[in-house]
Chains A and B, each alone.
Chain A
């Protein structure tokens, strides 16, 4: 197995906290002035896409984490493999894509996407429950995922 750089697990959780704030604002707007919600989903789409595809680009979340958060924290008790959080970002991206596309034809889709992104991001940030990570082994088992 190739050596992957192990990461501080609090990094993805910090990012998820920001995502959850964007997502609940999007959720609120989607019931009201939904065009704003759609714009926020475009932003989330860009952020997810950047962490999924932007291999050598520093993600704004990780910039913020390394610059302002990490220096104030103690050393992490544990480093973790980047694959499950990366997979979780792909799941997030697919929801964002769904929301962005449905914004053209079906405004309720924007609400649905914002709801799921919020739930997943919030649970990850504040309860350490990473839905994508939980699904990872199960999905590999049924052969949907290669590593």
Chain B
């Protein structure tokens, strides 16, 4: 086969890889609205925050992040979301480590970490984002809930 067509095939493969990567960049972290009206049961999550068991949702909204110990990008997301919580009183942020709680991962169909849920004031799941979230989207959803 001519060297030319080899180059064309290789460039084509290269272009496909770039297309996949760009699509991933664009799509990941955007999330989607959740239609089923499922409320989160805090007594089941058993999350502690600063050593205290969390028993109440945020007044207007709650951000629930699911992390694992082996997740490289979780700590960065944790920092950003904590900052957001710090600035807004009616917002609660909790981080759930599901490394050894695969039952939770299965229950919420979580296949990647970080995954972030946005809950309303009653703890109902309104929005979910898989992968590192795009913060503008989180802000927009929180604004809808009146938490910002």
Residues of A within 8 A of B (CB): 1, 9, 24, 27-29, 31-32, 77-78, 80-81, 83-84, 115, 118-119, 122-123, 126-127, 129, 133-134, 136-138, 140-141
Q: Is B6 an interface residue (CB 8 A)?
A: yes
Residues from chain A with Cβ under 8 Å of B136 in the complex = none
The answer to whether A137 and B13 touch across the interface, beta carbons within 8 angstroms, is no
Q: Does B52 contact A (CB under 8 A)?
A: no
Residues of B contacting A77 in the complex (Cβ-Cβ under 8 angstroms): 76
CB-based nearest B residue for A7:
B72
Chain B interface size, under 10 / 10 to 19 / 20 to 34 / 35 or more: 20 to 34
State which of B6, B16, B69 has its C-beta within 8 Å of the C-beta of A31.
B6
Comparing B86-94, B99-107, B137-145, the segment that makes contact with chain A is B99-107
**Residues of A contacting B106 with CB < 8 Å?**
141
Interface string of B9-50 (1 = CB under 8 A from A): 110011011001110110010000000000000000000000
Task: List chain A residues, Cβ under 8 A from B55.
Answer: none
Contact A31 B9 (CB under 8 A): yes
Q: A24-B13, A141-B102, A141-B111 are in contact. Are A123 and B71 (CB under 8 A)?
A: no
Q: Contact check, A80 vs B72: say whether CB atoms are below 8 A apart.
A: yes
Name the B residues within 8 Å of A29 (CB-CB).
Answer: 6
Binding site for A on B (CB under 8 A): 1, 3, 5-7, 9-10, 13-14, 16-17, 20-22, 24-25, 28, 68-73, 75-76, 99-100, 102, 105-106, 110-113
CA distance A129 to B29 in the complex (A): 12
CB distance from B128 to the nearest CB of A (A): 15
Mostly, the A contact residues are helix
Contact A1 B21 (CB under 8 A): no
Specify which chain A residues have a CB less than 8 angstroms from the CB of B105 in the assembled complex.
137, 141
Q: Are B110 and A137 closer than 8 Å at their CB atoms?
A: yes
CA distance A139 to B73 in the complex (A): 19
A1 and B69 contacting across the interface, CB-CB below 8 Å: yes
Q: Chain A contacts of B25 at CB under 8 A?
A: 127
Rounded to whole Å, the gap between the CB of A8 and the closest CB of chain B is 10
Please determine whether B71 and A81 come into contact, CB atoms closer than 8 angstroms.
Answer: yes
Residue of B nearest to A6 (CB): B72
CB distance from B79 to the nearest CB of A (A): 10
Q: Does A136 lie within 8 Å of B72, measured CB to CB?
A: no
Q: How far is the CA of A37 from the CA of B113 in the complex (A)?
A: 36
Q: Which residue of B lies closest to A85 (CB)?
A: B72
Residues of chain B within 8 A of A129, CB atoms compared: 21, 24, 28
